[in-house]
Chains A and B, each alone.
Chain A
Amino acid sequence: MSNNELTVIDREGSTHRLEWEPDQTMMEALRDNDLPVLASCGGTASCATCHVFLDKEVFDTLGERSEDELELLVEAEGYQECGSRLSCQLDFSRELNGVTVTLAPED
C-alpha cells in the first residue's frame, strides 16, 4: 500500500505536508515527523496530547469515538463536537488520504 499524504496545520498556524505510512496511526505519523505531539500515553487514549481537529466532512466519515476518547476530548482545550479526535485512535485508511488536520492547542 502506498502512503497517504497529510497536511498539518501546527499550533503556530504553519502548514506541513507529510507522508502517512500504512502501519502508522495518525498520531505516529505526526509524532514521527517532529510535530509537537507528545503522545504521553503511547496511544492508549489516556492523555489527549494527540488531540486534532478535522473538517466536519472528514469527521463524519469516521467511526464513533469511544467513551474514554470522548470524555478526554470534551474537557480538552477548544473541543469541537464534530471535529475533535484523538489522532492515536485513527488508523491508516485510504479515505483519509490528502486530508488536512489541525493540532489542537495545548492547555
Chain B
Amino acid sequence: MREQTAIQDHMAHFASAATAPVVIVGAGHSGVAVAAGLRARGWKGGILLLDAEKETPYERPPLSKELLKAGAPDESAVLRKEKFYQDKRIQRVAGAAVESVDRQGRTVLLSDGSRHAYHRLVLATGSRARPLTVPGARLPGVQALRTRDDALELKRLLVAGTRVAIIGAGYIGLEVAAAAAAKGCNVTVLEFQDRVMSRVTSVPVSRHFEKLHERHGVRFVFGAAVTEIEGGQRAERVVTADGAVFHADVVLAGIGVIPNQELAAEAGLECRDGILVDEDCLTSDAAIYATGDVTRFTSPIDGASQRLECIQNAQAQADRVAAHITGQPAAAPEIPWFWTVQHGVRLQTAGVRRPEDDVIVRGDPAGGSFSVIYARDGRLAAVDTVAGLADFRPARKLIAQGALIDPGLAADPGVPLADTILDDPAPAHADLAPARI
C-alpha cells in the first residue's frame, strides 16, 4: 500500500495539472510551510490551502509578545505576503472551515458548501486553547489567546490600572503577564502547581522567572485551584478552592491547548490526544498526512510518544510531508527547540526535558544570565538558556549526539559546553542531526 502510493506520488509529481491538488487543511505555521516546501521541492501540481480564518496567514509567537506591547500596531507579522501565494500558485480559500473528509471519494467538504477533490490531504489544523470549564467561564472579560482576534481583543482590554487575573503560569500566561505589567496593569497569576512553567522547566529556571516577574510587580498565587468566575455583566472576581477571591476586570486562561483532531477522528483516522502519524507524517490513511501541533508521534530521539507545540516541530514535520509527497529524502530528525520572552528576558530551550533528569546549573542566576543542563543517564538531554544564547547551538549538536557530559565541568560557565563532553565508549544515536537552525 505504502509502496504503491509512493509510486503514485512520484508519477503525480511529473503529471499534468489534471490530477487533483494537494489539499492542506489549516494555514498556520505548518500548513503554510507544507505549501512553500512543496514548491521549493519542485512540486508542479496544484496546491489548495484552506483555513477557517479569513485573514492572511500569520505568525503566532508575536501575538503574546510584540503585538501586546504599548504602541504596537494592530498589524502583526504575516507568515508570507499575499504576493507569495500568487507567485507560487498556491490557491487559498480563507474563511470556510473544512467540515468533513470523504476518504473513499478523496474529497473534503467546506462550511460554505463547496467540495474539493484531493490527490493528497494534509491535516495541519493545529490546536486550540483549552477552555476553562468552571462556572462563569463564559462571562465577557474571560479570554483565551490563540488567534489574532484573541490577541487584538486582549490588547484592547489591557490598559493601565486594569486588574488582570491570569489562570495558568505557562509560557502564554507569563508572556501576557509581562505585557500587561509593562502596560501598567495590576497582574495576579493563579497557578495550581507550586512554581511557574513547571511542565517545561526546572526549579532554578522557574524561580528565576518568578523573581523577574515579581520585580515588575506581578503577583503569584501558587496552589490555586480556580473554581468559579463571578460577575454580573462581566467577569469581576475569580474564586479559588480555598475560598480566596481575586478581583479582576480581565481574566486570561492560559491552561494549555488541545489538538484540533475532530476532523480526523470523524473520518476514522487513528487519534489519541493528537492524530497519530508515523515518521513520514502519514496518518493511518496512506493518502492523508498530518503535521504540526495536531499530531502525536514517536520521538526518534528517545522513543517517547509525544505531541510538541512549537514552531520548530511545525516546520520540521511540514518538511517531511513535502519531502514524502514529492518522493524526495527528508532531512534527518531534529532536536526540538522553543523560545519565550518575558520582560525582555529570553528563555530558549533545546531538547525535551523530563522531570527525572539530573539538573546542572551553569552560571549564577543572580547574574541574570545562565544555563541549565538536563542529563539523562549521564547524557545531555536538554538545555535551557536564560538571557544568553552561547550554549544554545552547541547544545543542539551535543544533544543530537547523545553526548556524555562531565557534570563538574558543565557547571562551570567558563568552560565551553563542547569541552565538557566525555569520551564515549558507546555513542548513543549517531544518526540524528541537530535541528537545522
Report A's interface with B, CB cutoff 8 A: 23-24, 28, 32, 34, 36, 38, 40-44, 46-49, 68, 71-72, 74-76, 106-107
Question: Which residues of chain B are near A40, meaning CB under 8 Å?
Answer: 311-312, 315, 435-437
Closest A residue to B310 using CB positions? A40
A19 to B312, CA, bound (A): 28
The answer to whether B390 touches A38 (Cβ under 8 A) is: no
The answer to whether B388 touches A49 (Cβ under 8 A) is: no
A103 to B397, CA, bound (A): 20
The answer to whether A49 touches B437 (Cβ under 8 A) is: yes
Question: Which residues of chain A are near B435, meaning CB under 8 Å?
Answer: 40
The answer to whether A42 touches B84 (Cβ under 8 A) is: no
The answer to whether B397 touches A107 (Cβ under 8 A) is: yes
B217 at the A/B interface (Cβ < 8 Å)?
no
**Can you give 25 contacting A-B residue pairs, CB < 8 Å?**
A24-B81, A28-B81, A32-B80, A32-B84, A34-B40, A36-B40, A38-B436, A38-B437, A40-B311, A40-B312, A40-B315, A40-B437, A41-B61, A42-B311, A43-B77, A68-B346, A68-B389, A71-B389, A71-B392, A72-B389, A75-B392, A75-B394, A106-B436, A107-B397, A107-B434
The answer to whether A46 touches B393 (Cβ under 8 A) is: no
The answer to whether B59 touches A71 (Cβ under 8 A) is: no
- 8 Å CB contact of A71 from B311, B388, B397: B388
Question: Which residues of chain A are near B87, meaning CB under 8 Å?
Answer: 32
8 interchain residue pairs of minimum CB distance:
A75-B393, A71-B389, A47-B437, A34-B40, A42-B59, A49-B437, A46-B339, A106-B436
Closest A residue to B385 using CB positions? A71
B260 at the A/B interface (Cβ < 8 Å)?
no
Question: Which residues of chain A are near B61, meaning CB under 8 Å?
Answer: 41-42, 44
The answer to whether A48 touches B437 (Cβ under 8 A) is: yes
For the A-B complex with A40-B437, A46-B339, A47-B437 known, give 7 more contacts whose Cβ atoms are closer than 8 Å: A34-B40, A38-B315, A40-B315, A40-B435, A42-B311, A46-B389, A75-B394
A107/B393 contact (C-beta < 8 A), A49-B436, A71-B388 known: yes
B39 at the A/B interface (Cβ < 8 Å)?
yes
A69 to B40, CA, bound (A): 27
Of B79, B393, B434, B437, chain A has the most CB atoms within 10 Å of the CB of B437
Proximity bits, B370-410, A CB within 8 Å = 1, else 0: 00000000000000000011101110010000000000000
B143 at the A/B interface (Cβ < 8 Å)?
no
Proximity bits, B71-90, A CB within 8 Å = 1, else 0: 00000010111001001000
B202 at the A/B interface (Cβ < 8 Å)?
no
Question: Which residues of chain B are near A24, meaning CB under 8 Å?
Answer: 81
> Smallest distance from the beta carbon of B342 to chain A beta carbons, Å?
14
B348 at the A/B interface (Cβ < 8 Å)?
yes
Question: Which residues of chain A are near B337, meaning CB under 8 Å?
Answer: 47
- 8 Å CB contact of A46 from B59, B81, B348, B394: B348
> Smallest distance from the beta carbon of B67 to chain A beta carbons, Å?
13
Closest A residue to B84 using CB positions? A32
Question: Which residues of chain A are near B346, meaning CB under 8 Å?
Answer: 46, 68
The answer to whether B393 touches A48 (Cβ under 8 A) is: yes
A28 to B339, CA, bound (A): 21
Question: Which residues of chain A are near B84, meaning CB under 8 Å?
Answer: 32
The answer to whether A75 touches B77 (Cβ under 8 A) is: no
Closest A residue to B66 using CB positions? A44
The answer to whether A76 touches B393 (Cβ under 8 A) is: yes
> Smallest distance from the beta carbon of B435 to chain A beta carbons, Å?
7
Question: Which residues of chain B are near A68, meaning CB under 8 Å?
Answer: 346, 389
Question: Which residues of chain A are near B394, meaning CB under 8 Å?
Answer: 75
> Smallest distance from the beta carbon of B410 to chain A beta carbons, Å?
16
- 8 Å CB contact of B81 from A32, A38, A41, A48: A32
> Smallest distance from the beta carbon of B59 to chain A beta carbons, Å?
5
> Smallest distance from the beta carbon of B307 to chain A beta carbons, Å?
19
> Smallest distance from the beta carbon of A71 to chain B beta carbons, Å?
4
Question: Which residues of chain B are near A72, meaning CB under 8 Å?
Answer: 389, 392-393
A23 to B80, CA, bound (A): 12
